Chain A
Amino acid sequence: MNKAESFTSQTFHYLMQNKLAVVGGLLVLLVFVLSIFAPRFAPFDPSKIDIKNILVGPSWSHPLGTDDLGRDVLSRMLWGGRISLEVGFVAVGIATIIGLILGSIAGFYGGWIDSAVMRAVDIMLSIPTIFLVLAVIAILEPNIINIMVVIGLTSWMEPARLIRAEFISLKEREFVVAARAIGAADSRIIMKHILPNGLAPILVSATMGIGGAILIESALSFLGLGVQPPTPSWGSLLSSGKDNIEIAWWLSVFPGLAILITVLGYNLLGEGIRDALDPRQRE
């Protein structure tokens, strides 16, 4: 007798078969481990200024060189990874929660609530994100909490739309009708019955969203509106790279490579999850 495999483990198996997705997952894991254990792995204190070694190229003691204050680039990059991951996860968390709440209410109740939420989505989508984020960050001061919140507040639209679509298609299913028939409260139906079944696309959106949030955070830091010195961030490292581009190529190359590898990992993983969840693949 064949034992039926659960949805989750089935999906996992599809995922494992996708080579690109596995690569993505490994990259994500790599960056994760390096960042979490940054205090262990970093050869130097990231804020340690060493005037005798300003803008020194890659060497044995400083494998990725030093920056304009003599600080070790490798150590700063490891700690900068923490910032990127923190911002990525929290911002996406905020966006997903807001999106889940608004999307599920809109999808479930329909009517004017749905229209109102969709209008709000349209309004938010009409304002070019960079401008809005720039404007808000310049008004409030640039610190890590504000950045997380702003990115979260400008990214909730996609999860909201996804969840709304799931709700609209799921709320007419038999299990919902059955739940209503036995008198379950709306909130219970939403949270216990529909939501768990509709989470799949949200997972994809969240994974890709982390990559996107990291890109925005590094762009902000590059422009000087991100986390402020001396906190290291990949974007601000690139900014000093730009200022010293003629004499310190390593400052412009390595931090950007870190961003690329990290975001690539999340994108590959997210796309892999999407393919693994695609009902058309299951034949």
Chain B
Amino acid sequence: MLTYIVKRTFLMIPILLGITVLSFGVMRLAPGGPAEAQMEFSAKASAEARERLRKLYGADQPFYKQYATWLGKFMTLDFGEAFADGRKVKDKILERLPITLTINLLSLGLVLLIAIPIGIMSATRQYSLLDRFSTMFVFIGFSTPSFWLALLLIYLFGVQWGVLPISGIHSLDISGLTFWGRLSDEANHLILPVFVSAFGGLAGFSRYVRNNMLEVMRQDYIRTARAKGLSDRVVIYKHALRNALMPVITILGLALPGLIGGSAIMEQVFGIPGMGQLMFQAVLSRDYNLAMGILVPAAFLTMLGNFLADIGYAFTDPRVRLQ
């Protein structure tokens, strides 16, 4: 088991390097670097000034040197400054992280809360009305564009019925409110984004739980338990559920990257100042430092999530460790 963990940890290093090289390369692909982006607006800038700017950003160094310098700084968590406003990338990220994390964590919680019971019920009452209904629901959920669902809900709840706010995370006049007032105002603003984010995950996850339960229930030990005369309740909740939920835990490891990037489109639709929107802005304005500062940690988190999921899997299923 320990050797497995050590082996996997070592494997992460080339992957991490690969991610950084790939991201760095993609960014540098652009015709025109940071100096050009700034120069675009002042045609009167002399060639000298351009050169000075390029030297400042280190854009005149060969590729591998640029990469090495950047990587060095990155390791010390110095992500540089954003080109747009010169503020430190780290600060900009930390500023927006809480909102994104809140939305995604709430969404994840909602998914777990609803999908697991539905999955279990679907499995135990296979082919019943509930099962068929949730199967259809799952397929529709898979196929629905999230931003469309968001628009529909905005229209219903925001425009037609006017009960929920449709953008931002707080109303314009919150300064006069008490702490609780502000909290409930923010909660109001979060309802729609969280729900729409959760919707996509709900479909897939409940299906996954259902299929796992079905698989487990076909096993011999379940037949034994029933043969022993144990009540249905005990059989399902004590024996089947425990085994069916184990892979679910590893799925949570895979949900880690979603915590940062998952809400990107929602943030655009609802005008929420989160990480996704920040990435979008960074990419549109060719702000490499900012974009890389978000992309690479996000990739790292994904890798971490995969790693944890693999460990979790090896933990629960001894057969995996023997590979």
Residues of A participating in the B interface, judged by any CB pair closer than 8 Å: 20, 119-120, 122-123, 125-128, 130-132, 134-136, 138-140, 211, 215, 218-219, 222-223, 235, 238, 241-242, 245-246, 249, 252-253, 255-256, 259-260, 263-264, 267-268, 271
Contacts and interface: CB of A to CB of B under 8 A. Distances in A.
Interface stretch (B22-30, B48-56, B65-73, B94-102): B22-30
Given A245-B151, A245-B154, A134 B279 contact: yes
A126 B303 contact: yes
Contact of A253 (B18, B23, B152, B291): B152
Contacts of A242: 151, 154, 269
B143 A263 contact: yes
B147 A219 contact: yes
B316 interface: no
Given A123-B18, A127-B19, A260 B140 contact: yes
B15 A131 contact: no
Given A123-B18, A128-B260, A223-B268, A252 B143 contact: no
Contacts, number: 132
What 7 A-B pairs come out closest when comparing CB atoms? Answer: A256-B148, A128-B261, A263-B143, A264-B143, A123-B18, A138-B283, A139-B30
A134 B155 CA distance: 27
B144 interface: yes
9 contacts: A127-B19, A211-B142, A223-B280, A260-B148, A263-B143, A263-B144, A264-B139, A267-B139, A267-B142
B252 interface: no
Interface in B154-186: 154-155, 159
B35 to A, nearest CB: 16
A263 B155 CA distance: 23
Contacts of B108: none
Contacts of A235: 145
Nearest to B280: A134
Contacts of A218: 145
Contact of B15 (A20, A126, A140): A126
Contacts of B152: 252-253, 256
A131 B279 contact: yes
B295 A215 contact: no
A128 B302 contact: yes
A264 B140 contact: yes
Among B30, B143, B260, the most chain A Cβ lie within 10 Å of the Cβ of: B143
A184 B152 CA distance: 59
B257 to A, nearest CB: 6
Given A246-B159, A252-B151, 19 more contacts: A20-B139, A120-B18, A123-B22, A126-B302, A126-B306, A128-B298, A128-B299, A130-B261, A130-B264, A130-B265, A135-B26, A139-B283, A211-B143, A215-B143, A218-B145, A238-B145, A241-B151, A242-B151, A255-B148
B286 interface: yes
Contacts of A130: 261, 264-265, 276
B213 interface: no
B209 to A, nearest CB: 17
B265 A219 contact: yes
Contacts of B30: 139
